[in-house]
């Protein structure tokens, strides 16, 4: 059972999933809803330490892939406040909005304001994990290191779910489907190298954060016993993303 943006529950020990947009979080919502235990989901809000023991979990995604996914999500989601405007915008034009030096990396009102493109794409993971500031990489790293039991990887979703089941005893059904998966978006390797470099330049902090977390995640896999690695390989066959 999940509880959105609760500050506390009756349990003495909390479990909290911090949802960073476009990292496969809504797929995980469905999995968490099916669990018998109470789980807090922080959605649209940033990391904040609870006043009681808590195991925090999050998902991270390659920043370039996340930006491209965000662009296609906005274009194809009618309920998104930027859909109507971004629907007629090329990826090149979208990146140009990200690059605008006259726009602060802050939210703008109304939500339909195109300046929110930067807010939604530039160093987003750093913002969420630091507690709200997209420039505070050190704080994001410290919070991730000190409070998060697991930072899974969108690109290794099956492996991430495997660790969650092991850590929390969650039951995750075979054949779980990815939500908000857009079949019409182009993969990163089809985006021009110059565009990729521009996205990377804008997301340097997120890239450093992601690469450090990914290295740790890969070490966690490497340290598994031979038997557990075999179990993981069998587990991965349960899902087709």
The tens digit of pLDDT for each residue in 5-34 reads: 999 999 999 999 999 999 998 899 999 999
Instruction: Kindly tell me if the per-residue pLDDT of 147 is higher than 90.
Output: yes
When pLDDT is cut at 50, 70 and 90, the band that residue 174 belongs to is confident
Q: What is the pLDDT averaged over residues 124-133?
A: 98
For the domain 2-236, what is the CATH code? 3.40.50.300
Q: What is the pLDDT averaged over residues 59-79?
A: 96
- Between 183 and 59, the higher pLDDT residue: 59
**Predicted pLDDT at 50:** 94
The tens digit of pLDDT for each residue in 79-106 reads: 999 999 999 999 999 999 999 999 999 9
Instruction: Kindly tell me if the per-residue pLDDT of 45 is higher than 80.
Output: yes
Domain boundaries, the chain: 2-236
Q: How far apart are CA 193 and CA 183, in angstroms?
A: 22
Q: How far apart are CA 127 and CA 131, in angstroms?
A: 6
Q: How far apart are CA 224 and CA 241, in angstroms?
A: 23
When pLDDT is cut at 50, 70 and 90, the band that residue 63 belongs to is very high
**Orientation of helix 226-236 relative to helix 157-168, angle to 10°:** 120
When pLDDT is cut at 50, 70 and 90, the band that residue 238 belongs to is confident
Share of the chain above pLDDT 70, in %: 99
Which residue in this structure is represented by tokens 């300046």? 115
**Predicted pLDDT at 180:** 66
Of 17, 54, 61, 6, the closest CA to residue 164 belongs to: 17
In this predicted structure, which of 113-122, 127-136, 182-191 has the lowest mean pLDDT?
182-191
Is residue 75 within 8 Å of residue 87, measured between CB atoms? yes
When pLDDT is cut at 50, 70 and 90, the band that residue 72 belongs to is very high
**Predicted pLDDT at 177:** 75
């Amino acid at each position: 059972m999940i509880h959105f943006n609760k500050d506390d529950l009756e349990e003495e020990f909390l479990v909290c999933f911090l949802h960073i947009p476009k990292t496969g979080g809504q797929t995980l919502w469905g999995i968490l809803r099916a669990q018998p235990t109470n789980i807090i989901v922080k959605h649209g809000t940033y990391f904040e330490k609870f006043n009681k023991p808590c195991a925090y979990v999050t998902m991270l995604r390659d920043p370039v892939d996340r930006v491209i996914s965000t662009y296609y999500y906005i274009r194809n989601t009618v309920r998104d406040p930027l859909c109507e405007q971004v629907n007629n915008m090329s990826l090149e034009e979208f990146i140009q909005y990200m690059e605008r030096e006259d726009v602060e990396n802050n939210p703008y009102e109304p939500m339909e304001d195109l300046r929110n493109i930067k807010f939604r794409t530039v160093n987003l993971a750093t913002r969420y994990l630091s507690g709200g500031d997209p420039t505070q990489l050190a704080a994001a790293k410290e919070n991730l290191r000190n409070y998060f039991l697991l930072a899974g990887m969108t690109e290794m979703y099956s492996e991430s779910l495997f660790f969650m089941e092991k850590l929390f005893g969650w039951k995750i059904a075979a054949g779980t489907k990815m939500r908000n998966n857009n079949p019409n978006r182009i993969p990163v390797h089809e985006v021009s190298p110059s565009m990729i470099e521009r996205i990377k330049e804008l997301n340097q902090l997120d890239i450093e954060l992601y690469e450090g977390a990914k290295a740790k995640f890969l070490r966690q896999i490497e340290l598994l016993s031979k038997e557990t690695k075999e179990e993981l390989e069998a587990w991965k066959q349960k899902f087709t993303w």
